[in-house]
Amino acid sequence: MPSNLIGIAILIAALAPGFAYLQAYRRYALRDARSQTTEIVEMGAVGGLATLAAALTVLVAAKWVPGLIGLETLLKGASTLRGSAWATVLSASVTLLLSVAACIGTGVLLGRRSRHAVGSVREGVVFVKALTARSPDGREPYLAVELNDGRLVEGYLLYASVNEDPARRDIVLQKPIAWSGVGYCERTRSAAESAYVPGSLIKVVHISYPPSPAPQDSGTGVGPDRESA
C-alpha cells in the first residue's frame, strides 16, 4: 500500500503542474486539437521538468529555511526521511506549489506572447485559428461578420465557441462595434459593449488588421482592406 501511495504522489507531482501549464496557456492562445495520449505525455514532460527544478530549489533553500529537507538528509536514506516526516511533507508540498506556480507563469507568458493570443476561446477547428491569429506585426484581427440576410456586424473578438456543427460556432464581439444593412450603405456605430452573434446566422467572416483603434470611417461594411476568412 505505501508503494502505491508513493506512486500516486509521484504521478500527481508530474501531471498536476503540466495540467496547470496547459490550462494557463489555453486562457490566452489557441492550440491544435491533440490526442489524449499526446497531452498526457506533454503534461508529464512539462510537469516533470518543473517539479525537478522546484525540488532542486527546495534542497538548496533548506540551508537557510528551517523545516525543509536538505540534500544531506535526503542522501541518508528512507529511514532518516521517516524520522523527519513533517519536514518531508512540508518539503514535498513546497516543491509541488513551486512547480505549479512555475508552470502557470510559463503558460501565461507563452500564451500572451503567442500569435493566437486574442480573446477567450475554446480549442477546436481552423475557424478559431483564423479569428484569433494576429498579423505579423502583432495587430489584432478586426472581424466583419456577414449574416445570412446580408447585414454586417463588426468588432474585435471577445469570445468564440467552437463546435463541429457550424451552426453552433457562436461569436461575441467587443467594442468598437458597428453594423450595416443589406447592400451598399453606411456603417453605423453602436454604443454596445459587446454583441452576441449566433453561429446559425453567420455566413462569412471578413478579417482585417487595422491600426488601433478600428477604422472610424462610415463607408460600406466591407472595406477594401478586409480579407475573407
- Cα of first residue to Cα of last residue in the chain, in angstroms, is 57
pLDDT band at 83 (very low <50, low <70, confident <90, very high): low
Mean per-residue pLDDT over the chain, rounded: 77
pLDDT of residue 181: 80
pLDDT band at 34 (very low <50, low <70, confident <90, very high): low
pLDDT of residue 78: 65
Q: Which CATH class is domain 120-228?
A: mainly beta
139-195 pLDDT, tens per residue? 888 999 999 888 899 999 888 887 777 788 888 999 899 988 887 777 788 888 989
pLDDT of residue 173: 93
The residue with greater pLDDT, 208 or 6, is 208
Q: What is the mean pLDDT of residues 121-150?
A: 78
pLDDT band at 196 (very low <50, low <70, confident <90, very high): very high
Q: Where are the domains of the chain?
A: 2-113, 120-228
